[in-house]
Amino acid sequence: MRAVRIHEHGGLEVLRLEDLPDPEPGPGEVRLRVAWAALNHLDIWVRRGVEGHRFPLPITPGCDFSGVVDRVGPGASEAWLGRRVAVAPGFSCGQCLPCASGRQNLCRKYGIYGETCDGGNADYAVVRVENLLELPDGFPLDRAAAFPLTYLTAWHMLVDRCEVRPGEKVLIHAAGSGVSVAATQIARLWGCEVMVTAGTPEKVQKGLENGAHHGVDYRREDWVQAVKDWAGKGGVDVIVDHVGADTLPQGIWLLARGGRLVTCGVTSGPLMEVHFAPVFFKSLSILGSTMGGLGEQHEVARHVFAGRLKPVVDSRFSLEEVAEAHRRLGERAVFGKVLLQVDPGLA
């Protein structure tokens, strides 16, 4: 089979398309004939490397992918054969207290396809049966690859960590990123009023089309003042921030009493100076969030399959164009997901 392989960290040149033996599923696993794979910033981190973290190189990246089950391993039901599926990207030990409590993302052995082991940037991929999300008839395989990781991340941030309520004001940074596209739709689904920030007028407009009520171009406007004008003296109830140093310190001052700021990343840098006086004066919460539980993944999938949440696709590339797909995502010019078509023969 063809597979994208990363043997060492670096630039686009480390992405190699190689021929490998077709994988065989083990106990409790199935093999997918991959149709589509979606890129995430996680793929860029796997390619570039992360200081202080060791990835199991060589590795096939790709944490979001869809396809058709074509082989089952021992203990896996043959009823899965031929079924169209998406893949829940996170897996865990299934035996510890967090796993038994439905919080698999807190398992000490938690892993993600394409980061902890080989993922979906290949003709075939092997996954655990419990990670299969069966698709309804007619649901397109490209959209099936475009939602699992980012929509799970955004759902866990807003619904589990922040416990959003109808009518709350929610500020979401970087409107065009996969997580922020999902967060905007989820906040609207929960009856919140949403404002987004973005770096171009075009992205602001797309953020509004994605469901936001208000938007601000942070490169051309004072986004802090714009948020104050929108939120009024009461302030913002919830801030979704995966930007980090460029936005998080200012966000603390924009929160309402009892407000919550939730973060799942720090793309502009992890080191920052935060003024903690408003944190205790206004009973604020600063919350970290990574992925979510398997039950949340199924809950998200139901909303996506019912059309209440709608993944946005920015662009599509072939597997041979994986370097160009990485380039597009890395240039931060996208709004929504960048997809790789692995098997054009799968509808």
End of a domain among 288, 303, 328?
288
* Same domain membership, residue 257 and residue 201: yes
Cis peptide before 201 (omega within 30 of 0): no
> Per DSSP, what are the bridge partners of residue 111?
91
pLDDT one-digit tens code per residue, 189-241: 999 999 999 999 999 999 999 999 999 999 999 999 999 999 999 999 999 99
Residue 79 phi/psi, 5-degree rounding, is -65, -20
Report angle CA 326, 329, 330 to the nearest 5 degrees.
80
Query: What pLDDT is attached to residue 331?
Result: 87
* Same domain membership, residue 7 and residue 53: yes
* Same domain membership, residue 138 and residue 169: no
pLDDT one-digit tens code per residue, 272-301: 899 999 999 999 999 999 999 999 999 999
Average pLDDT over residues 153-166: 98
* Same domain membership, residue 200 and residue 279: yes
* Same domain membership, residue 142 and residue 118: yes
* Same domain membership, residue 179 and residue 57: no
User: Is the residue at 104 inside a domain?
Assistant: yes
Pairing verdict, β 236-241 and 169-172? parallel
* Same domain membership, residue 197 and residue 120: no
User: Is the residue at 347 inside a domain?
Assistant: no
User: Is the residue at 73 inside a domain?
Assistant: yes
* Same domain membership, residue 170 and residue 120: no
pLDDT one-digit tens code per residue, 325-337: 999 998 888 999 9
Q: What is the CATH number of the domain that holds 275?
A: 3.40.50.720
* Same domain membership, residue 213 and residue 129: no
Report angle CA 73, 76, 77 to the nearest 5 degrees.
125
For the chain, the first-to-last Cα distance in angstroms comes to 20
Domain tally, the chain: 2
Average pLDDT over residues 142-153: 98
* Same domain membership, residue 282 and residue 188: yes
Average pLDDT over residues 122-129: 98
pLDDT band at 268 (very low <50, low <70, confident <90, very high): confident
Residues of the domain holding 168: 151-288
pLDDT one-digit tens code per residue, 56-84: 999 999 999 999 999 999 999 999 999 99
User: Is the residue at 302 inside a domain?
Assistant: no
Query: What pLDDT is attached to residue 267?
Result: 83
* Same domain membership, residue 156 and residue 142: no
User: Is the residue at 299 inside a domain?
Assistant: no
The H or E element spanning position 30 is strand 29-38
- Cα gap 149→88, rounded to integer Å: 7
Question: Counting Cβ atoms within 10 Å, is residue 35 exposed (0-12), middle (13-18) or buried (19+)?
Answer: buried
- Cα gap 115→99, rounded to integer Å: 20
User: Is the residue at 321 inside a domain?
Assistant: yes
* Same domain membership, residue 137 and residue 55: yes
Q: What is the CATH number of the domain that holds 38?
A: 3.90.180.10
Contacts of 144 (CB under 8 A, 6+ apart): 36, 66, 84, 85, 86, 133, 135
